[in-house]
Amino acid sequence: MTISIEIPQPDDWHVHLRDGDMLAAVVGYTARRFRYALVMPNLVPAITSTAAVATYRERIMAAVPVDAADFRPLFAIYCSRVIDLDDLRRGAADGSIAAVKYYPAGATTNSAAGGSSMFDFMSLFEVMADSEIRLLVHAESTDPAIDIFDREAHFLSEQLAPVCAALPELSVTVEHVSTSDGVDFVAAHPRCAATITPHHLARDRSHLLANGMRPDLYCKPVINSTTDRAALLAAATSGAKGYMLGTDSAPHPTTAKYGPVAKAGVFNAAYGLEVVAEAFYQAGRLDQLGQFASTNGVACWGVEPPSSTITLTRETIDRELATSLTTTKGDEVVLFGTEEAALWTIQTTPVTAATFGC
């Protein structure tokens, strides 16, 4: 049976677009699918100022394909001691800076410039609370004594909970929430929202480890247990407004994935939406897809609602799907979600603005 659903054009509230030839190779996947995309600042050197955002934005827009007519990147800067508070306030006021992203140093790809404790940044967070600038948090302990699968819960209770208690006006996004503890944390904190990735919704650690180690599923925070996945899916499909799609699409060349140490990151910009659609479909909650992928983020970020829709159809069509891309330098990146992509087709459907009452 063919099943179809029409949803407002979706947004991606967490994406890594990289730079140079990798940016050129990946940006079209995001720009053709999504309208807003919140671009992460973990380049080397990290993006920490309005000036760096402006030049990065130019490089991104120069690489966007012409048929991606309505792509609207937003930018987070990297939480670091070098942030100039006046520059941050100016950037937030003129819209060039959407948020500040906290990375625990050593937790993930390009996090060396991150913090060793959130408490070192309380004066910055106070300014952000006053100026209504959202804090995005990679919530993962780097304490080697903490088991890798418990690191989100540990970080949330030891670091983010006291910050939220001290600054109740600060708006926070728990990025790529990966555990039931993370879901509970968001539910208990009214000013906290969360992004959820396609891969955390659709895979668990047995997919990562049970039948040979799968470097293409390795990301930070790591994909966790079946119980955690069920909690994420329940949250994403619940209709609760605090949960939104953030793909955390993070391309790495196969040379960095298949060596003795795999870099963390899943490249899902190509098929992430199909992966989420299939997860919702399997949960019997396809009706909630628009809320999660389109509506909740727009409301959370206070941006203009879309005037177009996309239609996702579950049907098997005989076609050849790409399984990887190659950059101009010859680096190959594996596309996550080909299984789900084989089950879904996605069409862009322009509609009149009146459809959404805007």
Could you count the other beta carbons within 10 Å of the beta carbon of residue 342? 16
Beta-bridge partner residues of 344:
314
Kindly indicate which of the ranges 163-171, 211-219, 241-249, 327-335 contains the residues binding Zn ion, using the contact rule CB under 5 A: 241-249
Reduced to 3 states (helix: H, G, I; strand: E, B; else coil), residue 355 is: helix
- The correct pick among 250, 286, 293, 325 for binding ligand DOR (CB under 6 A) is 250
The minimum distance between CB 236 and ligand DOR, in angstroms, equals 19
**Window 88-117: contact mask with ligand DOR (x via CB under 6 A):** --------------------xxx-------
Least separation in angstroms between residue 140's CB and ligand DOR is: 8
Sign of CA dihedral 278, 282, 287, 289: negative
Three-class HEC string of 77-99: EECCCCCCHHHHHHHHHHCCCCE
- Beta strands, E only, 48-187: 72-78, 99-102, 134-137, 172-174
CB of 200 to ligand DOR, least distance (A): 10
Closest CA to 48 of 8, 106, 108, 96: 96
For residue 35, state whether it binds ligand DOR (rule: CB under 6 A).
Answer: no
From the list Zn ion, ligand DOR, none, partner contacted by residue 220 (C-beta under 5 to 8 A by kind): ligand DOR
Q: Which tokens sit at 31?
A: 């720009």
Contacting ligand DOR within 216-235 (CB under 6 A): 219-220
DSSP 247-302: --B----HHHHSSSSPPP-B--TTTHHHHHHHHHHHTT-GGGHHIIIIIHHHHHHT
Of the candidate residues 174, 196, 231, 264, the single one contacting ligand DOR (CB under 6 A): 264
Q: Which is nearer to Zn ion, 109 or 288 (CB)?
A: 109
Rounded Cα–Cα distance for residues 178 and 155 (Å): 12
CB of 22 to ligand DOR, least distance (A): 11
Interface characters, 272-311, with ligand DOR (x: CB under 6 A): ----------------------------------------
Q: Which of residues 137-196 bind ligand DOR (CB under 6 A)?
A: 138
Task: Using the rule CB under 5 A, give the single segment among 80-88, 203-211, 242-250, 313-321 that binds Zn ion.
Answer: 242-250
Decide if residue 248 touches Zn ion (CB under 5 A): yes
Q: What is the largest CA-CA distance in the chain?
A: 57
Supply the angle between the helices 122-130 and 85-94 in degrees, to the nearest 10.
Answer: 30
Out of 42, 142, 268, 295, name the contact with ligand DOR by CB under 6 A. Answer: 42
CB-based contacts of 213: which residues, under 8 Å, 6+ apart?
none
Q: 148 by DSSP, 3-state: which?
A: helix
Query: Token pair for residue 9?
Result: 């054009």
- Measured between alpha carbons, how far is 124 from 3 in angstroms, rounded to an integer? 48
Least CB distance to Zn ion at residue 333 (A): 16
Provide the annotated active-site residues. Answer: 248
Considering the complex, state which of residue 140 and residue 248 has its C-beta at the smaller distance from Zn ion: 248
Q: Which is nearer to ligand DOR, 267 or 344 (CB)?
A: 267
For the CB of residue 259, give the shortest distance to ligand DOR in the complex, in Å: 15
Which of Zn ion, ligand DOR, none does residue 151 bind (CB under 5 to 8 Å by kind)?
none
Residues that bind Zn ion in the complex, under the rule CB under 5 A: 248
Contact residues: ligand DOR, CB under 6 A: 16, 42, 108-110, 138, 219-220, 248, 250, 264-265
